[in-house]
Amino acid sequence: MINQTVEFQNLGLIDYKNAWDYQEELFQKVVSVKQENRKSKINQASPNFLLFCEHPHVYTLGKSGKESNLLINEEFLKRKGASLYKINRGGDITYHGPGQVVGYPILDLDNFGLSIKSYIHNLEEVIIQTLKHFGIDSSRSEGATGVWLDASDAIKARKICAMGVRTSHWVSMHGFALNVNTDLSYFDYIVPCGIQGKSVTSIAKELGKTILVEEVYQVLQNGFSNVFGMKIK
């Protein structure tokens, strides 16, 4: 049974590990339904979830990432009030912190008829549409995931949204990190996403003003509804 209804949850400011554990819990819930369907040859609807949150200062290193892309030692990390987690998503190293909107879609991709490639393409499209709402032109960058500004200009190119996903049994977890009012100085201590010589930016930096995170949440939800055809409750 196809189910394109998605349960939205605002987790607020939450410790990264707590959010990761909760993602795993919901992920297993979706996978269990799919496995039971396969085993019993029944057709119960699998659930979908969309989590938005912010994290205290933290760096996350994907399974294909290089530790050398973290440019500071453990002692300096503690002085900056940040932590480091090695996690099971794709991609390299990135930063999460207050003022950054992090989205974790836990979706049964079969419900939306998506391949992994088209799923990531759709995620990027949601961000592109969201930024357009705020008057910011953005695009994809060939050979790199995420969303960029001036992507075709080697000097001006800057990343505004990082992405890293994991899928198993055609169920997604992890997701995107959109810089809204983010303290961008924390990116100085890493090679963002393992890409040398590229800068990062935020909505606030581009517009020269602070943005209400709640407004960004609403625009993102509209984007998910439009791009994925989902019904958010």
How confident is the model over 136-170, as pLDDT tens digits?
A: 999 998 888 899 999 999 889 999 999 989 999 99
The per-residue pLDDT for 134 is 97
The per-residue pLDDT for 194 is 47
**Residue 111, domain CATH:** 3.30.930.10
Whether residue 161 lies in the annotated active site: no
Tally Cβ neighbours within 10 Å of residue 71.
11
Q: Is the pTM of this model over 0.75?
A: yes
Q: Which residues of the chain have pLDDT under 70?
A: 64-65, 72-73, 90-91, 192-198
Q: Say how far apart CA 133 and CA 131 lie, in whole Å.
A: 5
Q: Residue 70's beta-bridge partner residues?
A: 190
Burial of 138 (0-12, 13-18, 19+ CB in 10 A): buried
Please give, one letter per residue, the 3-state secondary structure of 99-168: CEEEEEEECEHHHHCCCHHHHHHHHHHHHHHHHHHCCCCCEEECCEEEEEECCCCCCCCEEEEEEEEEEE
Question: How many domains would you assign to the chain?
Answer: 1
The whole domain housing 137 covers 5-232
Q: Say how far apart CA 127 and CA 141 lie, in whole Å.
A: 13
Structure tokens at 11: 């987790």
Catalytic residue among 51, 126, 177, 193: 193
The per-residue pLDDT for 198 is 67
Output the CA angle 161-106-97, nearest 5 degrees.
Answer: 40
Amino acid at 61: L
Cβ atoms of residues 51 and 7 within 8 Å: no
Which phi and psi (to 5°) does residue 201 adopt? -145, 180
